[in-house]
Amino acid sequence: MGELMNAVKWQNAQKLEEILPEVWKELRVKVDRMIEQIGDKSPHVAKEDGVYDDMRVDWWTSGFWPGILWIMHEMTGKEHYKEAAWEWDGKFEQKSIIDNNFHHDVGFQYLPTAVIKHKLTGDKDGLRRGLQAANFLAGRFNIAGNFIRAWNQEKLGWSIVDSTMNLSILFWAAEMTGDPRFEHIGRAQADTVVQKFIREDGSVNHILSFDPKTGELIESLGGQGAGPQSAWSRGAAWALHGLVNVYRFTEDTQYLKAAQRVANYFLACLPEDYVAHWDFRADASLDNEPRDTSAASCAASGLIDLAAFLPPIEGAMYLRAAERMLLSLTVNYGTWDKPENQAILLEGTGNKPANSNVNVSLIYGDYYYVEALAKLQGWKQRIF
Ligand code: GLY
């Protein structure tokens, strides 16, 4: 069946489960083609021409393409995915011994490369590199303020909600080494997210600025959201998925409850097609605001695990919502009828306030879409 026919056929689907096996088949074809198209590039953004750029390997997004390949390898048993993914953690290690800009996002980079490589193959280089990244992340902890320092160049006291997704590497390192310090730091940052980043109504701050000496909270900053009090949707997705991950490691229900609060706000803000705008408070109507398909795919993937950890009667709503979001992403935002397009999803928003990468394809949007569909297809492994 041709891709265009599939896309047209999928337009009439009422439920994701009706088309999921067919979409998954099409996705494999797509990823095989991406291997040829992407080659050695480190993809980050594809604009109107559908051609992925080649970002520097220390950029925070460089783990997502190999992450897609490792998922495909585990789901299919096919060696060519593993071969295409194999070198990535070695590239990071090379970069880490020379001038670089690695920061708190080593979780985003090493979890879908070194750590999953070690889990799936027992590779000792992957283990060493993953533990080095965990040590590096732990070393960014500010004990006075109970937060992990985010970036390098900006203020010493900045912590950002995106960090929630990086915590899995600390919990993994605690398990691998038996050293509980990693878990202490992971929990401390997660506690800061629960107590300070998530607002009463379940919306989420992007950046909090602390006094790096005293640890006192100074202010909320708009960051990639529309303003300090706005509700950046990808930030909410990072908190939602990230706190579900923390629950998976700790089994401490406060993290699951917090993820649920973020999920409830996120779902209440969705437009008719179930794909989030870039900021739920960008303006009152949101009519002319762009979508962010990466927020949608990341949130959907987190919702699938949230649903599974809750009692079935409570979790069912979150699973239904995730399936609706993924159906809409598939039918309305996919590139199935554009074989020359190197991405999977359209209409991501990178950084709207900076007018950077608006209405583009984003490799992390593609990654979380693949991750979510793999979960629905029975994938039991977890990368984050
Ligand atoms: N972690 C950066 C972003 O979500 O754009």
Nearest atom within ligand 1 for CA of residue 238: 4
Point out the ligand 1 atom lying closest to the alpha carbon of residue 160: 1
* Ligand 1-lining residues (CB < 6 angstroms): 60, 162, 224, 234
Which atom of ligand 1 is found nearest the CA of 108? 1
Mutation to probe ligand 1, out of 61, 167, 238 (largest number of atoms < 8 A from CB): 238
The atom of ligand 1 lying closest to the CA of 234 is 4
Q: Give the bridge partners for 147, in sequence order.
A: 142
CA of 162 to the centre of ligand 1 (A): 6
- Taking only the tens of pLDDT, the chain with its 384 residues reads 445 555 567 999 999 999 999 999 999 999 999 999 999 999 999 999 999 999 999 999 999 999 999 999 999 999 999 999 999 999 999 999 999 999 999 999 999 999 999 999 999 999 999 999 999 999 999 999 999 999 998 789 999 999 999 999 999 999 999 999 999 999 999 999 999 999 999 999 999 999 999 999 999 999 999 999 999 999 999 999 999 999 999 999 999 999 999 999 999 999 999 999 999 999 999 999 999 999 999 999 999 999 999 999 999 999 999 999 999 999 999 999 999 999 999 999 999 999 999 999 999 999 999 999 999 999 999 999
Whole-number Å distance between alpha carbons of 348 and 365 = 7
What residue owns the CA closest to ligand 1's atom 2?
162
Mutate to test the pocket of ligand 1, among 45, 59, 60 (most ligand atoms within 8 A of CB): 60
- Cα of 379 from ligand 1 centre, angstroms: 25
Give the C-alpha separation, 27 to 23, whole Å: 6
What's the gap in Å between 14 CA and the centre of ligand 1?
32
Map residue 226 onto helix, strand or coil.
coil
Specify the pLDDT at position 8. Answer: 65
| 44 Cα to the center of ligand 1, angstroms | 11
Question: Which among 213, 146, 137, 125 has a CA at the least distance from the CA of 172?
Answer: 137
Q: How far apart are the first and last CA of the chain?
A: 34
Q: Tokens 């303020």 map to which residue?
A: 145
Question: Which atom of ligand 1 is least distant from the CA of 162?
Answer: 1
Where are the alpha helices (H) located in 77-207, listed in sequence order? 79-85, 88-96, 106-110, 116-121, 124-138, 168-177, 181-192
- For residue 119, the CA-to-ligand 1 centroid distance in Å is 26
- Going from the N-terminus, what domains does the chain have, and what CATH number goes with each? 2-376 (1.50.10.10)
- Return the ligand 1 atom nearest residue 350 CA: 5
The partner residues of 279 in beta bridges, in order of sequence, read: 232
Centroid of ligand 1 to alpha carbon of 78 (angstroms): 31
Name every residue whose Cβ is closer than 8 Å to that of residue 346 and which is 6 or more positions away in sequence.
293, 333, 334, 335, 359, 361
Q: Which of 101, 162, 167, 278 for mutating ligand 1's site (highest number of atoms within 8 Å of CB)?
A: 162
Tell me which residue has its CA closest to atom 5 in ligand 1: 350
* Mutation choice for ligand 1 from 224, 278, 358, CB with most ligand atoms inside 8 A: 224
Q: What is the whole-number distance in angstroms between the Cα of residue 13 and the centre of ligand 1?
A: 32
